[in-house]
Amino acid sequence: MADYTLDDLLYLMSRLRDPKDGCPWDRVQDFSTIVPHTIEESYELADAIEQGDMQHIHEELGDVLFQVVFYSQLGKEQGSFDFASVISNLVAKLVRRHPHVFPDGTLQSRVGEQTKDTEAIKQTWETIKTAEREGKQQQSVLDDVPSAFPALIRATKLQKRAAQTGFDWDNIDGVLAKLKEEVDELIEAREQQSQQQIEAELGDVLFSVVNLSRHLKVDAESSLRATNKKFENRFQYIESVLQSRGTTAEQSSLAEMDTLWDEAKAKGL
């Protein structure tokens, strides 16, 4: 197998988009049509990392890189940007956001005694990002939180951004009280049998749970993904045991499945 380079990848991309002898599918793509593939590849990479499958991670990293190369080719064709400018912009931004590593703003700069205060580093990072947003003349601090984010991630981002202005609970007790308030309102909406209000109040409950996660310093998305996996493992255990008994979940009672669920839990699944 040949050892290809980044230059080979960029050439391959230009060939795929060639109007004369390129790939018919690649030629008709644009920024918007590639987005679903980018999201899919990113999730596949996240899944490979979660599984700890290094070979799969290796492969998925290539697929994610190809998304960047594809967008860069589209930008080059429109005269907006190319892969080289994407890299240059990225390096400049990272140097700017790491003054504790590059104090004079160049890759060649060195520091003496480097700070090990991660909270101070994080605060500096956020301060620099805030200054960058101000340079973009946004009307709201929330303007650049992408609407395409998964809901849990976007809720976390919105809350963090608002918190930077001081709009946040002073302590976790206030967050817990708010969560209880929202649950009570959901119960009331259910009693009134208002589906529209139920949906609205359930959204408030979920938003409050994300807020609780943030104050507990737990990533809501990762936490839920872990719970999804735990549920999957335990339910598959139920299915496996039932199959060994010559039956199925549909043919079993809830009590029987609950017992098997407890068995799975005791096994650490």
Minimal CA–CA distance to 39: which of 157, 151, 148, 158? 148
**Burial (CB count <10 Å: 0-12, 13-18, 19+), residue 244:** exposed
Rounded CA-CA distance 261/102 in Å is 53
The pLDDT of 16-20, averaged and rounded, is: 95
The pLDDT of 204-213, averaged and rounded, is: 97
Give the pair of three-digit tokens for residue 15: 């060939």
The pLDDT of 201-206, averaged and rounded, is: 96
The pLDDT of 7-25, averaged and rounded, is: 96
Reported as a single tens digit per residue, the pLDDT across 68-100 is 999 999 999 999 999 999 999 999 999 988 888
pLDDT at site 136: 67
Q: Is the pLDDT of residue 51 over 80?
A: yes
pLDDT at site 135: 63
Q: What percent of the chain has pLDDT over 90?
A: 71
The pLDDT of 245-253, averaged and rounded, is: 95
Q: How confident is the model at residue 124 (pLDDT cuts 50, 70, 90)?
A: confident
Q: Is the pLDDT of residue 194 over 70?
A: yes
Estimate to the nearest angstrom the gap between the alpha carbon of 250 and the chain centroid: 35
Q: How confident is the model at residue 105 (pLDDT cuts 50, 70, 90)?
A: confident
Regarding pTM above 0.85, the answer is no
Q: Which of 64-73, 97-106, 123-132, 213-222 has the lowest mean pLDDT?
A: 123-132
Q: Is the pLDDT of residue 243 over 80?
A: yes
The CB density around residue 134, as the number of other CB atoms within 10 Å, is 10
Residue 164 contacts residue 126 (beta carbons within 8 Å): yes
Rounded CA-CA distance 176/166 in Å is 19
